[in-house]
Amino acid sequence: METIKQAAGEFLAEKRVAVTGVSRKPQGHGSNAVYQRLRQRGYTVFAVNPNASSVEGDTSYPNLKSIPGGIDWVVIGTRPETADATMRECADLGIKHVWMHRGPGAGSVSSSATEYGREHGITVIDGGCPCMYNPTADPGHKAMRFMLTLTGKVPRRV
């Protein structure tokens, strides 16, 4: 097992990423904050929401397989019960890096999705947020990373 810092560095080195759960109404949605931050930092980011044709002024895709040209990694920002289907789709598409978002609340982490992903050769970060690590971090997210690591909502190893 590698440290989360090592895994986060591997994820963030790749520039084509899909974020699931991006909402048409961005207020209060962690997926939207992640989507915006990655886009601001120069990533090619794809929104995935089966109920919207556009979000944040960009095209939204109903699923991962509909994204043209494929992706390097996925941030799951949906309810945990949806994470299992997304993880299976990642395995089917050969996506090898999946981050299940989790801040102070319940987040998107599903233990069954984590287990399935790892059994299928996927590096799974099961907690925390890509915005907690450089080059996407800000001081507030770094402080949250410290506190959430203490409470176990950010894993130390993946």
d(CA 87, CA 39): 23
Strands (E), 14-151: 16-20, 44-48, 54-55, 58-61, 73-76, 97-100, 123-126
**Residue 137 CB contacts under 8 Å (≥ 6 apart), including other chains:** 131, 145
Residue 154 has pLDDT above 70, yes or no: yes
Domains annotated for the chain, with CATH where assigned, are: 4-150 (3.40.50.720)
CA-to-CA distance for 34 and 7, rounded, in angstroms?
A: 17
What is the rounded distance in angstroms from the CA atom of residue 149 to the CA atom of residue 70?
Answer: 32
Residue 31 C-beta-side C-alpha neighbours within 13 Å = 27
Write out pLDDT tens, residues 4-56: 999 999 999 999 999 999 998 766 668 999 999 999 999 999 999 999 999 98
Q: Which two tokens stand for residue 114?
A: 């984590």
| Confidence band for 1, pLDDT divided at 50, 70 and 90 | confident
